[in-house]
Amino acid sequence: MTNTNCLENFKCPACGNEESFRIAATTIATVTDDGTEDHGDMEWDDDSYAECPKCHRHGALKDFQVTSQPPSQWEAVPEIARFEDFEIEPRIKHWEDGNPEKPDHIHCDEHEADMWRLLGTMPGRDTICIGEYAARSLAEEVYAGITGRRYAEQTGADPANKPYSVLLLYPADANDGGAETYYAWVEAPDPIEAVALARRQAVAANECLEFEPEEFASLLVTEGHHADQPLFNK
């Protein structure tokens, strides 16, 4: 039932009754010894006493009034296109034609990167750059803020793994003055496994020298992928 006259926008807050209410009203009546003969219009206001005849909830009339919401002043917002795919791309500084006044970044291997680019693809559109970051971990934080999940969940990597940076020393028979190192980024559940993965990566990168993984000595293991450390492959 929707009232459109005296009780428009009135409803009992306790039981939901909208049909009728007892309201204390003011009027002017003609009164004789026999009683009231007639009376004028009845008046009440927000502070007049009111009572619900069904549940006997009582109080000021304004307590029974339902506040109607004004029409929205905001226009409907069209559906926003969302990213359907993401990629974190490693990049390294490059000078076009050797000109130091025209620096650029090109795609590279992860261990060479000095900048990371977060890319996003929308349905029916080209891939766009969302942002560029000094560390992969920062790009992954932005990805997590957009999607609500870790980047590893998109790539299919084991979410139990963590990123590590590992610095290894080359074997003595291939080490120029004892200072030649191999720097690797890996994903592993712990530092021990990170070193093992980095050693295998170093062997693969030097396949022609026939090294064994255990010949690479571990110098440093840190959690996270740190491109800004002064550690480089030689």
The enclosing domain of 171 has a CATH number of 3.10.20.10
Q: How sure is the predictor about 97, in pLDDT bands with cuts at 50, 70 and 90?
A: low
Mean pLDDT over each residue of the chain, to the nearest integer: 81
Instruction: Please state, for a pLDDT cut of 90, what percent of the chain lies above it.
Output: 11
Q: 178 or 136: which carries more pLDDT confidence? A: 136
Domain that holds residue 214: 162-223
Taking the C-alpha atoms of residue 212 and residue 24, their distance in angstroms, rounded to an integer, is 98
Task: Give me the half-sphere count of Cα atoms (radius 13 Å) on the Cβ side of residue 194.
Answer: 26
Are residues 145 and 167 both part of a single domain?
no
Residues 111 and 169 placed together within one structural domain of the fold: no
The answer to whether residue 234 is domain-embedded is no
End-to-end CA separation in angstroms for the chain: 83
Please report whether residue 179 resides in a domain.
yes
Is the same domain home to 102 and 126?
yes
Q: With bands split at pLDDT 50, 70 and 90, how would you rate the model's confidence at 233?
A: very low
More confident residue, 60 or 33: 60
Say what the pLDDT of residue 14 is: 85
Type of residue numbered 221:
V
Is 230 part of any domain? no
Domain stops at, among 140, 155, 170: 155
**Residues 49, 38, 21, CA angle at the centre, nearest 5°?**
25
pTM of the model: 0.38
228: in domain: no
User: Do 176 and 135 share a structural domain?
Assistant: no
| 60 shares its domain with 114 | no
1 assigned to some structural domain? no
Instruction: State the amino acid at position 7 in one-letter form.
Output: L
- 210 and 176 both lie in a single domain: yes
Residues 97 and 147 in one domain: yes
d(CA 41, CA 28): 8
The total of structural domains in the chain comes to 3
How many other C-beta atoms can be found within 10 angstroms of the C-beta atom of residue 96?
A: 11
Buried b (16+ CB within 10 A) or exposed e, 184-203: bbbbbeeeeebbbbbbebbb
Residue 157 predicted with pLDDT over 80: no
- 117 lies in a domain? yes
Residues 132 and 92 sit within 8 Å (Cβ to Cβ): no
155, 187, 204 - which closes a domain = 155
Helices (H), 21-157: 136-147, 151-155
Give a yes or no: residue 92 inside a domain. yes
Element (H, E) at 93: strand 85-95
Q: Distance (Å, rounded) from C-alpha 180 to C-alpha 6?
A: 92
Decide if 43 is inside a domain.
yes
Higher pLDDT, 144 or 155: 144
- Residue 93 pLDDT > 60: yes
